[in-house]
Structure 1
Amino acid sequence: MRSRAFLLFFFFLSTTSSIAAQEVKFIYKGFSGNQAIRLNGIAEIAAEGFIRLTNETSRLIGRAFYPLPVRFRNSSDGSVFSFSTAFAFAIIPEYPKLGGHGLAFTIAPSKELRGGLPSQYLGLLNASDVGKSSNHVFAVEFDTVQDFEFGDINDNHVGVDIYDMRSNASAAAAYYDGGVNHYLNLKGGGVVQAWIDYDGFKNLLTVSVSPFSRKPAKPLISFPLDLSPVLLEEMFVGFSSSTGLLASSHYLFGWSFQVNGLAQSLDLSSLPALPHPKKKNPTLTAAACSAAAAFLAAAVTGGVFLYYRIKNADVVEPWEREYGPHRFSYEELKTATRGFRDKDLLGSGGFGKVYRGVLPGGAKTAVAVKKIAHESKQGIREFVAEIATIGRLRHRNLVQLQGWCRRRGDLLLVYDYMPNGSLDGHLFEDPPKGALSWGQRVRIIRDVAAALVYLHEEWESVVIHRDVKASNVLLDEEMGGRLGDFGMAKLHEHGGNASTTRVVGTLGYLAPELTRTGKATTSSDVFAFGALVLEVVCGRRPVEPKAQPEELILVDWVWELWSAGRVAEAVDRRLGGDYAEEEMALVVGIGLMCSYPNPSDRPTMREVVRYLDGGAGLPSLCIPPPDDGGRSPAVFDDFVHSYPSSSFEKVSS
């Protein structure tokens, strides 16, 4: 009797649990610490009651999930239940026009999504499991970066993803109101409400977005879809978001969800709001600064003697002697630069400071000495070996690397001295070092192209520069262009965390494929060269934060003028029209061709030289069509568009 009663009781519990699972329904009108929500990655609940999934930290993931599994199938016949959700979110990029990836509502087998990567993967998948049905990931993405690898339609879209980051259905973000579709900027910082409804009987998925509390009468996406191969019996529902080299803060303000029913829309006015930035109290700030300064002074005074004893030790390890012919002693370079005094400082940048020096001896050879802080021991031996190899490169358009020196936390590189400084200084310094004529600009472009042909094809092995930019082009006594700073990007990579994949180079010159592969190629050098060409012709940086919105990204602006037949408007006004229009069009066309998003569409550097020399006619350019956001696909990825590091450099020798 007891056994029978127990079985009946167990059957009752199982039936009740099944019914409850089928009728999962919840609503969050804001979030607080005592509410059931599971966070991972960098996601956090703010005191104001909203969830901040990500912040302005690059290449990180933030997730928020309902803590309990949700039943999506009928256990008796295996049919898939209908479900509905509504949620309110906001995306605030670090740089408003440029974006920084997005967020996705997802149904997944686990809350952790182990192996999910940031950037274009939105924390959902990685390169090995993307596209595989075994991952059972369903997502609706709200993406603010156009990723060509996954066929994104633009940098402001909503997409339905099944097993993959390549959307099965997508549409430019918009909402239907008053019989008209209105453009909706997902990265504009405003609160957006989204509705996702799946009808398990009709096998139909609809997605809507709106800046209002009411649901639009017409959905943005209406997509016939059978989710029975995707959804398991029990799965987890939530959100995943990520940042790339450019970052956005992704916020979640409210969320409702229901199985076998229609989720309740959210009243946006009743949800938590982002706080306004608080003004700093100048009195408190001054007091805090004074206290910090006093503490710092005490710490410095106590440790300065010990620091300099360790720092100034000139120890040569046995392995360094094998590279002896290229090694200078620290005392030689200290004497050459007269103690690295500020008066001989040529410039500074992300890798260190550059000093003018004169090597001791009868020849009195002028040199530029780059002093690089490199506290990490990791990769130093590999870097020195590479520098010794690079020292063998010989070409009239390369800045000759004469040698190196290592001293504890410093690496010192010795280059030929270029009396006319950097191309960057002539283009952008205020006051400029000297206006460049059109003929000088074309010659410099030709010189850099010749140097890259030598590196890519003419030396005994392929050398990839990895950081072609205006501040790495130096001008000799005849104003000829020479490409310098070999090994700098490699040094940066060696000095990093070995377990972290980092894209090395300068933002604004980076090819779009680099964030996906992490591998520099000759084609990525060509892309950087294209940015340099447009920079030289137009007298503007690849990204100009102070420009008008439509002129912010140089390559996009030049494409627009090219397509309108007004490319002459892009030419540096300081030239005063003193150039041949046919030659100008050729050079601009080369810059645009080198800037194609697909690496296979870019020319080789040898082809570029042939175009410049008139040995081959420039092919017709295929102009990337503008998207709904008014930008061309030449705005390739989140990392391409930021302040170029060269904007903070005087000279990079």
Structure 2
Amino acid sequence: MIFIPPVKLVKADLALFTRLNDGRDVAVKVLSVESRQGDKEFMAELSSVSNISQENLVKLNGGCIEGRRRILVYDYMEHNSLARILLDDKARSKLDWRVRKEICIEIARGLVHIHEEVKPHIVHRDIKASNILLEKNFHPRISDFGLSKLFPEHVSHITTRVAGTLGYIAPEYAVTGHLTRKSDVYSYGVLILQIVSGRSAVDFDLELGEHYLVQKAWEMHMDNRLLDIADSTLQHDGNFSEKEALHFLKVGLHCVQEKCNLRPKMSAAIEMMMIDQNDQIKVNDFNNVEIRQPGVIINNMDLKIARRKNERSSKLSISSMQCPQVYPFNTRV
């Protein structure tokens, strides 16, 4: 692993990048200073993650610490992040249905690798659209392992300070600080809903205030209108399949169920989305799976309250804690 000294950042193509001495263009990300992790622990974890190589993970080339700043250096991806494309109507139209299916499946394969194949297992902790980078052919790679945690074999969960992004963070993790691989599964479910709908995880409306994609998808599912949430730009795609889109949306809802033990493992989620030799999604295999209501943290204040409760008493069990204004959330998992 190369530990790269502080570099001068150049802004181009909506990304921060620099060119190394060997001619490679690399993306440079400066992490926030909120983490309480010590410098030695940060570098040890950085070193562990850098040894992982898989086609759906961005290669971590190195990093450094400069004062309170922590810098990570990745391979540069031509299309930048999935979040930027989803926010741009013109760019989003380039994501046809075939590409969106592949993005969902390839991200899942990357998560299977870190959750189930490498040892110790790794939980990313911040799966979101801005941490999915896209190559020239729109092949996705998971980036930014700065918040990731290593899971030794036979450890079901670890208790840690809550980190992540509002709209993607699993409610039981926000309340208790108990981190599991199912926390990433929740975030991945939100990501599927985003990819199919083209919407943000959290939208702000002047009249309605903050509106959460998970809530919206669940409400439409209960009204038998879930397909209405699909991105309207897909209607101009001759290969768009409403049947497949509805299926992927249901897989997303399956991943964000409030009870974490009802969420699938990532390997099971892939099986739900796989395409057979006739280029057909295995829809019938999933039709009998019951989807229950999701949980979601409503706003930043609730997340801060949950974090403070967790910091005051990290030993509290899930059943003994009340989640502030979580919709809807059952404290038993």
TM-score range, shorter chain: 0.7 to 0.9
Distance change >3 Å, CA 439–CA 404, structure 1 → 2: same
CA shift, 1:444, in A, is 0.6
Q: For each residue in 1:308-332, what CA deviation from the matched residue of structure 2 results, as whole angstroms up to 9, or x when unmatched?
A: xxxxxxxxxxxxxxxxx431233xx
2:9 to 340, 347, 367: 340
- 1:461-472 matches, within 5 Å, as 461-472=120-131
2:101 to 427, 436, 442: 442
Alpha-carbon separation, structure 1, partners of 2:94 and 2:115: 31
Alpha-carbon separation, structure 1, partners of 2:288 and 2:262: 12
The question of 1:613 aligning with 2:281 is answered no
The question of 1:603 aligning with 2:272 is answered no
Aligned partner of residue 390 in structure 1, secondary structure: helix
Alpha-carbon separation, structure 2, partners of 1:375 and 1:471: 19
Alpha-carbon separation, structure 1, partners of 2:41 and 2:254: 35
Match of 1:234 in 2: none
**Percent identity between the aligned chains?**
34
Aligned residues of 1:542 and 1:553 also touching (Cα < 8 A): yes
Alpha-carbon separation, structure 2, partners of 1:522 and 1:376: 20
Match of 2:201 in 1: 542
Distance change >3 Å, CA 389–CA 501, structure 1 → 2: closer
Aligned residues of 1:589 and 1:621 also touching (Cα < 8 A): no
Q: For each residue in 1:426-457, what CA deviation from the matched residue of structure 2 results, as whole angstroms up to 9, or x when unmatched?
A: 10136647631111111111110000000101
Alpha-carbon separation, structure 1, partners of 2:226 and 2:262: 22
Alpha-carbon separation, structure 1, partners of 2:207 and 2:32: 37
Aligned partner letter, 2:83: D
- 1:344-363 matches, within 5 Å, as 344=12, 346-347=14-15, 355-361=16-22
Aligned residues of 1:371 and 1:410 also touching (Cα < 8 A): yes
Gaps of 5+ in 1: 1-324, 348-354, 491-499, 625-632, 644-653
Distance change >3 Å, CA 531–CA 547, structure 1 → 2: farther
Aligned partner of residue 485 in structure 1, secondary structure: coil
Aligned partner of residue 95 in structure 2, secondary structure: coil
Distance change >3 Å, CA 510–CA 547, structure 1 → 2: farther
Aligned partner letter, 2:213: L
CA shift, 1:414, in A, is 1.1
Match of 2:226 in 1: 567
The question of 1:589 aligning with 2:250 is answered yes
Distance change >3 Å, CA 540–CA 433, structure 1 → 2: closer
Aligned residues of 2:162 and 2:174 also touching (Cα < 8 A): yes
TM-score (norm 2): 0.77
Alpha-carbon separation, structure 1, partners of 2:198 and 2:36: 40
Aligned partner of residue 178 in structure 2, secondary structure: coil
The question of 1:530 aligning with 2:199 is answered no
Aligned partner of residue 184 in structure 2, secondary structure: helix
Aligned partner letter, 1:506: T
Aligned partner of residue 513 in structure 1, secondary structure: helix
1:460 to 106, 115, 119: 119
1:397 to 45, 56, 59: 56
- 1:30-41 matches, within 5 Å, as none
Q: For each residue in 1:376-422, what CA deviation from the matched residue of structure 2 results, as whole angstroms up to 9, or x when unmatched?
A: 88511101100001000110000110111223333221101001110
Aligned residues of 2:166 and 2:297 also touching (Cα < 8 A): no
Alpha-carbon separation, structure 2, partners of 1:502 and 1:476: 33
CA shift, 1:622, in A, is 3.3
Alpha-carbon separation, structure 2, partners of 1:569 and 1:374: 40
Alpha-carbon separation, structure 2, partners of 1:423 and 1:537: 12
Aligned residues of 1:508 and 1:642 also touching (Cα < 8 A): no
Aligned residues of 2:147 and 2:163 also touching (Cα < 8 A): no
Aligned partner letter, 2:71: L
Q: For each residue in 1:316-355, what CA deviation from the matched residue of structure 2 results, as whole angstroms up to 9, or x when unmatched?
A: xxxxxxxxx431233xxx3xxxx324x44844xxxxxxx2
Alpha-carbon separation, structure 2, partners of 1:528 and 1:404: 25
- 1:54-453 matches, within 5 Å, as 325-330=1-6, 334=7, 339-341=8-10, 343-344=11-12, 346-347=14-15, 355-361=16-22, 364-372=23-31, 374=33, 379-429=38-88, 432=91, 435-453=94-112
CA shift, 1:620, in A, is 2.9
Distance change >3 Å, CA 610–CA 415, structure 1 → 2: same
Aligned partner of residue 576 in structure 1, secondary structure: helix
Match of 1:267 in 2: none
Q: For each residue in 1:53-81, what CA deviation from the matched residue of structure 2 results, as whole angstroms up to 9, or x when unmatched?
A: xxxxxxxxxxxxxxxxxxxxxxxxxxxxx
Distance change >3 Å, CA 635–CA 329, structure 1 → 2: closer
Of the two structures, which has the highest relative contact order with CA contacts closer than 8 Å and spacing of 6 or more?
A: 2
Aligned residues of 1:399 and 1:416 also touching (Cα < 8 A): yes
Aligned partner letter, 1:359: L
> In the comparison of the two structures, how many residue pairs are matched?
285
Aligned residues of 1:590 and 1:608 also touching (Cα < 8 A): yes
Match of 2:314 in 1: none
More helix by share: 2
CA shift, 1:539, in A, is 1.0
The question of 1:487 aligning with 2:153 is answered no
Distance change >3 Å, CA 376–CA 555, structure 1 → 2: closer
Q: For each residue in 1:102-122, what CA deviation from the matched residue of structure 2 results, as whole angstroms up to 9, or x when unmatched?
A: xxxxxxxxxxxxxxxxxxxxx
Match of 2:279 in 1: none
Alpha-carbon separation, structure 2, partners of 1:589 and 1:525: 17
2:290 to 600, 622, 629: 622
TM-score (norm 1): 0.41
- Bigger Rg, which one: 1
Alpha-carbon separation, structure 2, partners of 1:501 and 1:403: 25
Match of 1:178 in 2: none
Aligned partner letter, 1:327: F
Q: Decide which moves more: 397-406 or 571-580.
A: 571-580
Aligned partner of residue 545 in structure 1, secondary structure: strand
CA shift, 1:548, in A, is 6.9
Alpha-carbon separation, structure 2, partners of 1:514 and 1:375: 18
Aligned residues of 2:167 and 2:297 also touching (Cα < 8 A): no
Match of 1:634 in 2: 294
Alpha-carbon separation, structure 2, partners of 1:504 and 1:530: 18
Aligned residues of 2:92 and 2:198 also touching (Cα < 8 A): no
Q: For each residue in 1:502-560, what CA deviation from the matched residue of structure 2 results, as whole angstroms up to 9, or x when unmatched?
A: 42100101111013320221101000000000011111122212287499222222223
CA shift, 1:594, in A, is 0.4
Aligned partner letter, 2:265: T
Aligned residues of 1:510 and 1:640 also touching (Cα < 8 A): no
Alpha-carbon separation, structure 2, partners of 1:433 and 1:569: 18
Aligned residues of 1:357 and 1:367 also touching (Cα < 8 A): yes
1:520 to 173, 179, 183: 179
